[in-house]
Copies of this chain bind each other. A is one copy, B any other.
Amino acid sequence: MPFFDLLVGKPLATSEERAEQIGPIAGIPVFGLDALSSAAYGPEAALTLLIPLGLMGIAHIVPISMAIIGLLAIVYLSYCQTIDAYPHGGGSYTVASENLGANAGLLAAAALMIDYILNAAVGISTGVGTLVSAFPRLQPHTLALCLLILLVLTLINMRGVRDTGSTFLVPTCLFVGTLLAVIVIGTIRTIAAHGHPLPIVAPPRLPVSGAMLSLWVLAKVFASGCTAMTGVEAVSNGIMAFREPKQKNARRTLTIIIFLLMTFLAGIALLCRAYSIGATEPGVAGYQSILSQLTAAVIGRGWFYYLTIASILSVVVLSANTSYADFPRLTRAIALNNYLPHVFLIRGRRLLYSHGIYALVGFTALLLIVFGGVTDRLIPLFAIGAFLAFTLSQAGMVMHWKRLGGGGANWRMAVNGIGAVATGITLVVVLVAKFTTGAWITAILVPALMSVMVAVRHHYDGVAREVAVEGPMRMENLAEPLIIIPVDRWSRISEKALRFAMKLSDQVQAVHVDAEECYEEVSRNWQQNVGGPFAQAGRAVPELVFLESPYRFVLTPLLDYIGKVERECPDRQIAVLVPELVVKHWWQTPLHNQRARLLKVLLTVQRNHRIMVISLPWYL
């Protein structure tokens, strides 16, 4: 398959694993795009809720952003500790299930799985949505474009993490570079203008409103702003993908990502206040995103403006990639504990957990198709999953340090404890603030997914108990099985079957169902072709059993007979040797009866432990 190889790369040997791992810089596009792209919609979401307050509202964005940045710092410190403690990957699932018990782990797992799928769907559809608003002629093809991008991302990811990192490095650098440039230039201008810089392109004037900021609105603004924190989990989950020293490289990547995200959030908040930039009503003519207004105000609408906007767009789309990197790792971790099908443990030809990718792509495609490629309403669901995972992870880490004890344990417990409390409170705020606008969906999906996982585990436990070895192999009662051969007319096929049966056992019975009333012919042929040679060889002639079939059914009398023999010989196994004609081309199938195949299926359906089926194919 040279074309397939070209598309997703040649298979990699298990021994090539080392080479497929990434450094701290390559880690940013692989694990950081989700977090970094949050800068594009977190502040926007918060400012949108402040629209009713008009000019007055913008002032509040700075303290709210600072609160979010503070929370981010706590979460960062907590995750640094997690990376230290779990060198093999410490996602919320691992940490919670090891320290808080299986149920807490499943809760985290369900929340994260839903989050990763949402992230992929929303990232792609947001990107396509922006593209479509720029080129309205593409509108009817929204879904097709979404699925196309999903396909391209899948193919890139099927090549493996290192290839993904290098593919996405350029857009990531462009995004970080342009946004940093805007923030740095804006800040210099602000300082130079003593806090009141003149915008190059003035943002829309904000109305002066008399509305007051209630605590409830503040909570909702904070909850919306917290979507800026999704995606922080990714690095600690993917430590194994890094080059040695894994933990150090992972920590470096996490540090860079968090530092950049904090800079973005702080810069955007400060510049919004300085330039008096507020959100515009979404979905209404004249809508313009915060980052677009900001860039235009700082740099003007030159080529740099378009470069910045384009890089933001591409990173939003590529943020879906974080799901590709982490979802398969998560499902593998869950499957390792028997809560998900074991296929998620299999590493594919490029050393990836390919089935995780298939599942992610399947569910994402389903979401996109169900929502027709427009998934904006799913954005609020994000933050819940993320903060549920944060809280469980931090709480788990507290238990971890408590159990471990030793020097510095108290200090570490405190860091994670503060993290747990802070993210826990945030979770409650987000859940309450967003419940009616979609959080209830998550509240249904999470327990549903948890019950599926418990059912899977239950099944695997049952199987494990059933097939568990009870001691050394038993050597008694190794008598040859009784072999039953269904025989139609005598032919080379029946001859081959009988010969093979003779090789396997001395107890062979041929059974003929007389549906077509050809007793005479079959009986004569048997005498002539079997009886003779056996008598000559001095062996007992195998018995030929005739079964009556007044209604011309073939399989029913046969199955009845096999069942009877099985009951009569409780100490022997029964092997049904089924001679089967295998045609050369599929279209020849209707030319031959499919009774052999049907007999095999029917014998399997009976689920009798003592009846075996031996296929004896005759290849035409």
Chain A residues with a Cβ under 8 A of chain B:
11-15, 341-343, 346-349, 456, 459-460, 462-463, 466-475, 478-481, 490-493, 495, 498-500, 502-505, 517, 525, 528-530, 532-534, 536-537, 539, 550-552, 573, 575, 581-582, 584, 588, 590-593, 600, 604, 607-609, 612-620
Contact = CB atoms under 8 A, between A and B. Distances in A.
Nearest to A498: B473
Contacts of A600: 615
Given A472-B533, A473-B534, 15 more contacts: A13-B550, A343-B590, A343-B593, A467-B492, A467-B493, A468-B492, A469-B529, A475-B536, A475-B537, A478-B503, A504-B504, A504-B505, A582-B607, A584-B607, A604-B615
A534 B588 CA distance: 48
B617 A604 contact: yes
Contacts of A459: 588, 591
A109 to B, nearest CB: 17
Nearest to A480: B503
A14 B549 CA distance: 9
Contact of A591 (B347, B460, B615): B460
User: 5 closest Cβ contacts across the A-B interface?
Assistant: A13-B550, A467-B491, A607-B619, A467-B492, A11-B551
A606 to B, nearest CB: 9
Contacts of A472: 528-530, 532-533
Contacts of A532: 472
A448 to B, nearest CB: 15
Given A347-B552, A503-B479, A462 B620 contact: yes
A478 B460 contact: no
A464 to B, nearest CB: 9
B504 A492 contact: no
Contacts of A614: 575, 612-615
A615 B615 contact: yes
A8 to B, nearest CB: 14
B503 A550 contact: no
A502 B529 contact: no
6 contacts: A341-B590, A343-B590, A468-B492, A474-B533, A481-B500, A500-B573
Given A462-B620, A550-B15, A613-B615, A499 B474 contact: yes
A373 to B, nearest CB: 28
Nearest to A481: B503
A12 B552 CA distance: 9
A608 to B, nearest CB: 8
Contacts of A604: 582, 615, 617
A46 B528 CA distance: 65
Contacts of A530: 472-473
A506 to B, nearest CB: 11
Contacts of A593: 342-343, 346
A469 B481 contact: no
A341 to B, nearest CB: 5
A427 to B, nearest CB: 32
Contacts of A552: 14, 346-349
Given A492-B466, A495-B473, A533-B475, A616 B620 contact: no
Contact of A473 (B462, B529, B615): B529
A431 to B, nearest CB: 32
A478 B505 contact: no
Contacts of A12: 551
A397 to B, nearest CB: 31
Nearest to A471: B529
Contacts of A528: 472
A529 B590 CA distance: 47
Given A460-B591, A473-B499, A503-B478, A550 B607 contact: no
Contacts of A529: 469, 471-473
A460 B592 CA distance: 9
Contacts of A534: 473, 475
A342 B460 CA distance: 46
Contact of A491 (B468, B525, B533, B537): B468
Contact of A502 (B11, B478, B575): B478
A14 B500 contact: no
Contacts of A550: 13-15
Contacts of A466: 492, 620
A492 B469 contact: yes
A264 B234 CA distance: 88
Contacts of A462: 620
A205 B616 CA distance: 78
Contacts of A612: 500, 614-617
Nearest to A605: B582
Nearest to A483: B504
A475 B540 CA distance: 13
B467 A618 contact: yes
Given A347-B552, A463-B620, A551-B13, A481 B504 contact: yes
A551 B500 contact: no
Nearest to A456: B591
A173 B472 CA distance: 81
Nearest to A551: B11
B342 A591 contact: yes
A579 B575 CA distance: 14
Of the listed residues A466, A490, A493, A551, the one surrounded by the most CB atoms of chain B closer than 10 A to its CB is: A551
A104 B341 CA distance: 62
Nearest to A11: B551
Contacts of A590: 341, 343
A342 B479 CA distance: 40
A469 B456 contact: no
Contacts of A456: 591
A577 to B, nearest CB: 9
Contacts of A343: 590, 593
